[in-house]
Amino acid sequence: MRLVDNPDANYYAYPLDLCAEVSEQLQVTKVYQLPSSANDRTHDTPQPYDYHKIQSPAASEYHPSLRPPPRTTTKPYQVVQPEGPSFETHGNRLTWEKWSMRVGFNYREGLTLHDIRYDGRSLFYRLSLAEMFVPYGDPRSPYPRKAAFDLGNDGAGINANNLRLGCDCLGVIKYFDGWHNTGAGEPLKLPNVICCHEQDDGILWKHTNFRTQNAAVTRARVLVLQTIITVSNYEYIFAFYFGQDASIHYEVRATGILSTCPINVGDQVPYGTVVGPGVLAPYHQHLFCLRMDPALDGPKNSLQVEESVPMPVGDPAVHNPFGVGYTTTRNIILQEQGLDLDFAKNRTFKIINEEQINPVTGTPVGFKLLPYYSQMLLAHPESNHAKRSEFAKHAVWVTRYQDDELFPSGRHTMQSAGGEGIASVIEQRQKGPPAQSSVRNEDIVVWHTFGSTHNPRIEDWPVMPCEKMSVGLKPLNFFTGNPGLDVALSTQETNRSVLSASPPSGCCKS
């Protein structure tokens, strides 16, 4: 079926129209033909199937060896750090600006971060991507089996790319290696699985005093820890960004190649996009779960939900004569549970330490979550997908810390028939004494589920430009002022920008 004789041809552009079932004894037990249209089902015998007749190989290839020469308009762009990077590493301990942390790596989660501090103050005990689930929305057999736990089934560590200088990061790069083991128990080095570098991030803060016309402007530098995994067709780029303003951002970029299946030429289905003649890219979701184990000024923290609400009008007990007043409601979560986002109420999830009161604001010190607003799991609550991916039901979960409770779909996702996820664990613990599942002023863990309902575009084909998703954590009355206030002003002496030498202006000149 493959029309291009090149090992780097795009396999997903030429989907086979058959499927083989293999037994545990590695015997082929059944071969059948895949459905060819919305109304078609699997067949035991071949049907007339015309999709392969009119493939257009060039449009479906991404590898440069199979493509016309690339554009030449993109001029080189280099990052120069004449005095070296601003970070230092000692083994896996990393320090940068006022941050310190330890960088971890394992087979399943890949990159993990530990004991994250700012200016010596404890912020997070551990940050990690805990799971991701990719269920497909094509209802026809055998596709309801397409539903990957890319961490639990595959492993973000073992699938991490060996990153290359000048390709995956720009500037002055520090690589971290990972370690795994061979089948024989020997240590196995996974080289360059994490890259660490700095980026300029535009302006950090600026103010011009309009009375004196004096401007003060600082540029933002960020520290990036990035790892990239290949899971069959897809690539995921996972990166933590640390800011001089004490913010943390976790970014996921989805790239790589769509997982496809065959379709009759000219047909359409309501649960997929035709990306090439005879090639269907079915709708699917990418649902990630970021695990945040906070330790804001110590291990005992609480989760507070704040909403911004209009003050009532016409209530004699409330002074709001012009109807413009608004206040915040604050609710501390008492028991383990899953919670939903609501931007219409400016619902804000704050991790706070109730025992540490900010000396200026008079409120508990905290960090707020900047969530990534996303649709939760679309599969029916009684489906296998839903039973196996309980974390995909709510955007925010809070649990009491338990040793080894790292995975919101349980430890063994491949064999899971459901009932092992975060909701089941919470339900189980709620049967015990209330103190057991209390999350107020305790050692808590906060989990954020986010992702994308990925209804493919033709622009995602034959290789997908990165789709970015970003989650943030920002101090909220944790410090006593802007943590980046002491960043030096931006100067041309240091930054050495250059005026563009454009062609002469004016339409009249040729």
User: Which residues are part of the catalytic machinery?
Assistant: 150, 234
Q: Which is nearer to a copy of itself, 182 or 502 (CB)?
A: 502
Q: How far is the CB of 388 from a copy of itself (least distance, A)?
A: 11
Q: Which is nearer to a copy of itself, 160 or 426 (CB)?
A: 160
What part of residues 407-426 is at the interface with a copy of itself (CB under 8 A)? none
- Edge-to-edge strands, sheet with 279-282: 261-262, 279-282, 272-276
Alpha-carbon span 302 to 445, nearest angstrom:
9
What part of residues 82-111 is at the interface with a copy of itself (CB under 8 A)? 82-91, 93, 97-98
- With a CB cutoff of 8 Å and minimum separation 6, the contacts of 257 are 10, 12, 62, 233, 234, 462, 463, 464
Q: Please identify which residue in 156, 237, 369, 406 interacts with a copy of itself, judged by CB under 8 A.
A: 237
Output the six-digit token pair for 186: 């020997």
List the one residue out of 277, 241, 283, 252 whose CA is nearest residue 262: 277
Alpha-carbon span 172 to 334, nearest angstrom:
46
Choices 269-277, 297-305, 411-419, 438-446; region in contact with a copy of itself by CB under 8 A: 269-277
53 binds a copy of itself (CB under 8 A): no
Dihedral sign for Cα atoms in the order 63, 456, 408, 398 = positive
Q: Which is nearer to a copy of itself, 20 or 58 (CB)?
A: 58
479 binds a copy of itself (CB under 8 A): yes
286 binds a copy of itself (CB under 8 A): no
Q: Please identify which residue in 275, 303, 305, 445 interacts with a copy of itself, judged by CB under 8 A.
A: 275
474 binds a copy of itself (CB under 8 A): yes
- With a CB cutoff of 8 Å and minimum separation 6, the contacts of 465 are 255, 459
CB 46 within 8 A of CB 1: no
Q: How far is the CB of 349 from a copy of itself (least distance, A)?
A: 14
334 binds a copy of itself (CB under 8 A): no
Choices 163-171, 286-294, 397-405, 406-414; region in contact with a copy of itself by CB under 8 A: 163-171
Q: Please identify which residue in 7, 183, 316, 432 interacts with a copy of itself, judged by CB under 8 A.
A: 7
Cα–Cα–Cα angle for 104, 108, 114, nearest 5°?
Answer: 25
361 binds a copy of itself (CB under 8 A): yes
Alpha-carbon span 422 to 505, nearest angstrom:
62
User: x/- string (CB under 8 A) for a copy of itself, residues 427-466?
Assistant: --------------------------x-x-xxxxxxxxxx
Q: How far is the CB of 84 from a copy of itself (least distance, A)?
A: 6
List the one residue out of 50, 49, 51, 18 whose CA is nearest residue 278: 51
Q: Please identify which residue in 17, 109, 131, 198 interacts with a copy of itself, judged by CB under 8 A.
A: 198
Alpha-carbon span 145 to 163, nearest angstrom:
32
Please give the size of the binding site for a copy of itself, defined by CB under 8 A. Answer: 185
Q: Please identify which residue in 32, 33, 104, 140 interacts with a copy of itself, judged by CB under 8 A.
A: 140
Q: Which is it for strands 93-96 and 87-90: parallel, antiparallel or unpaired?
A: antiparallel
What part of residues 200-229 is at the interface with a copy of itself (CB under 8 A)? 200, 202-212, 214-217, 219-221, 228
User: Which amino acid type is present at position 201?
Assistant: D
Q: Please identify which residue in 153, 409, 449, 490 interacts with a copy of itself, judged by CB under 8 A.
A: 490
Alpha-carbon span 173 to 490, nearest angstrom:
23
